[in-house]
Amino acid sequence: MVPKISTLSGYIFEYQKSTANPTEFWSNIADTFYWRRKYDEVLKWDFQKPEVRWFEGGQLNLTENIFERQIFYRGGQTALLWEPNDPEEEPRRITYQELFEEVQKFANVLLDLGVKKGDRVGIYLPMVPELVVAMLACARIGAVHSVVFGGFSAQALSERLEDAGIRLLITADGGFRGTKTVPLKAIADEALEQAPTVEQVIVYQRTKEDIPMKEGRDVWWHDLMAGAAASNEAATMESEDPLYILYTSGSTGKPKGLVHSTAGYMIYSAYTFRNVFQYSDGDVYFCTADIGWVTGHSYLVYGPLLSGATCVMFEGVPTWPDAGRFWDIVEKYRVNQFYTAPTALRSLMAMGEKWLEGKDLSSLKVLGSVGEPINEEAWHWYHDHVGKNRCPIVDTWWQTETGGIMISPLAGIIPTKPSYATMPFMGVQPVIVDSEGQEQTGNSVQGNLCISYPWPGMARTIWGDHERFRQTYFSTYPGMYFTGDGARRDEDGYYRIMGRVDDVINVSGHRLGTAEVENAINEHPLVNESAVVGFPHDIKGQGIFAFVVCTELSDGGEDGIRTSIRKTVSKIIGPFAKPDLILLVSGLPKTRSGKIMRRILRKVAAGETEDFGDTSTLLDPAIVDEIVEAATRTAGG
């Protein structure tokens, strides 16, 4: 088991060791895992290329570290406590032994279907235990999984399947979310019309709705599992073999498939999990994230299972049947560590404290926050009403690209401050730079956040486009990884994440590129052009504000066109990307070179009506007055 730091002086000591001699530090952590062949070299790196290789020469299988390594003493222990969407439905309790059996069987299913090491497997499933089984079965045989969030539309799904060259897709008839049923198979069928690389589809039966099965392509999960052999010998993987691809948004329209490696990711997810949450044997841990995002990958599946944790996996939504659902689950399973997103907290906070009344939350020891900045009000609400002033909050800053938590308190060890991610994790070397790339040393500084040294969990490339990987992350500030976030280091050396400094917005903790939303809006037949910016939103953190120039209005007038633009975005990306506000304008503020001046639009979106700074380089400065006037007139539109 990875070591656990238990005091502040221990943290300071270990952190110093991890930065003074990273290779010795990480090799000590790596040695607590099971290797088929020990690595020859701990780290090889060059951020210019960029190339990062951890534990080269090592051979292992990640699932062997979850199962074979732990099964003798954990076989009977619960791995997953699955809570269905409908509280009336029977929950499922799955032990490590049972999970191991399912993973081996499904690994054999994949092998029988001809899936080979290195093949990419698409996963588009609801939050059911079979999603975990599918991921681990891929890892078992060395296939690279690519999970696509169930909220993505057919078009978004097909784009990802094609980019990753997926041959086999695992989906379900549908999924339950609150009062809704998501028709996953129907969406997948539509996606597959445009993703010809997919030859086989495995369908898990969840909603039991009548769905068409395509002869020769679609097979039921349960039929395949019924005939599967029970035991499976894990494939031998190299340390740097890819474990998974996960798509995320960037500042251009095309999503990026971040590639995570096997050994480094394994070690980093497990070590951060154990230390940040201070997980102890026997604790019950509940992460509310969907596995379609990186939080679910690292802190619902890999980190916890590698640490022998008992995890609650929840299929539903926080507000159904009522806004007390999370707290019912905490009480029912005596949850000790609870990890969620600020958006969920803000929406529950808005519904009042009555939903917490009478719930026994006394089992809670640690509260976690992830995905977006947590504002002070939400932090205090979480601390006071959920944690009853006794539970430390770990505000964990990290990204899809980082693979695991980078800046965060270690629960109960690093003193917290509301809205601060606090201190860097072991091995993480944050640097704050100004716009010229000048490092801001000392405390009380603010600027762009970079990381100057590799850590084992970092993504190694963008699938199929290493040059984009270099340009996006390693070219702005040569020699460093640029996070895209702004940060402040305060007088105590504590880090506060200020939010994105690029064209990425964070809506309800979902990361979206403004260009991605613009491209979708521009697909609307009546739209000439558009510009999308984020604006402060009480619940979602950031909302989506779209400035749209139309060629003409449809019959439904302005309201009609707004509705149909939202539909277009929903169809192209997914319902979560629909603009909150759409302002129809006759033009956009552009410079003579045709560049949209987004800072003006951001100000308008934030409700400002003056002080737009220097607008003299605009082609048509009068457009600003017109936009402000339109925004004032249709405020709330």
Which residues of the shown chain bind ligand PRX in the complex (CB under 6 A)? 248, 293-295, 370-373, 395-400, 421, 483-485, 497, 499-500, 506, 511
If you compute the radius of gyration of the chain from its CA atoms, what whole number of angstroms results?
24
Question: Which SS3 state, helix, strand or coil, does residue 589 take?
Answer: coil
**CB of residue 134 vs ligand PRX: minimum separation in angstroms?**
21
**CB of residue 526 vs ligand PRX: minimum separation in angstroms?**
32
Question: Which SS3 state, helix, strand or coil, does residue 418 take?
Answer: coil
Among the listed residues 364, 394, 390, 361, the one whose alpha carbon sits nearest the alpha carbon of residue 379: 394
For ligand PRX, give the closer residue by CB, 247 or 333. 247
Q: Name the amino acid, one letter, at 3.
A: P
DSSP string, 165-225: T-SEEEEES-EEETTEEE-HHHHHHHHHHT-TT--EEEEE-SS-------TTTEEEHHHHH
b/e sequence 119-144, b meaning 16+ C-beta within 10 Å = bbbbbbbbbbbbbbbbbbbbbbbbbb
For ligand PRX, give the closer residue by CB, 318 or 342. 342
For ligand PRX, give the closer residue by CB, 78 or 399. 399
Angle at which helices 129-141 and 96-112 cross, to 10°: 60
Question: Which SS3 state, helix, strand or coil, does residue 546 take?
Answer: strand
Q: Check: CB of residue 278 under 8 Å from CB of residue 413.
A: yes
For ligand PRX, give the closer residue by CB, 363 or 375. 375
Q: Is 73 exposed, middle or buried (0-12, 13-18, 19+ CB in 10 A)?
A: exposed
**CB of residue 496 vs ligand PRX: minimum separation in angstroms?**
8
**CB of residue 399 vs ligand PRX: minimum separation in angstroms?**
4
Report d(CA 544, CA 505) in Å as an integer. Answer: 8
For ligand PRX, give the closer residue by CB, 104 or 298. 298
For ligand PRX, give the closer residue by CB, 102 or 372. 372
For ligand PRX, give the closer residue by CB, 33 or 473. 473
b/e sequence 255-282, b meaning 16+ C-beta within 10 Å = bbbbbbbbbbbbbbbbbbbbbbbbbeee
For ligand PRX, give the closer residue by CB, 511 or 603. 511
For ligand PRX, give the closer residue by CB, 53 or 511. 511
Report d(CA 382, CA 276) in Å as an integer. Answer: 18
Copy the structure tokens of residue 300: 């619902």
Among the listed residues 51, 50, 345, 49, the one whose alpha carbon sits nearest the alpha carbon of residue 41: 51
**CB of residue 63 vs ligand PRX: minimum separation in angstroms?**
23
**CB of residue 277 vs ligand PRX: minimum separation in angstroms?**
14
**CB of residue 405 vs ligand PRX: minimum separation in angstroms?**
8
**CB of residue 16 vs ligand PRX: minimum separation in angstroms?**
24
For ligand PRX, give the closer residue by CB, 242 or 509. 509
**CB of residue 30 vs ligand PRX: minimum separation in angstroms?**
23
**CB of residue 462 vs ligand PRX: minimum separation in angstroms?**
13
Report d(CA 153, CA 246) in Å as an integer. Answer: 16
Chain position whose Cβ is nearest to ligand PRX: 400
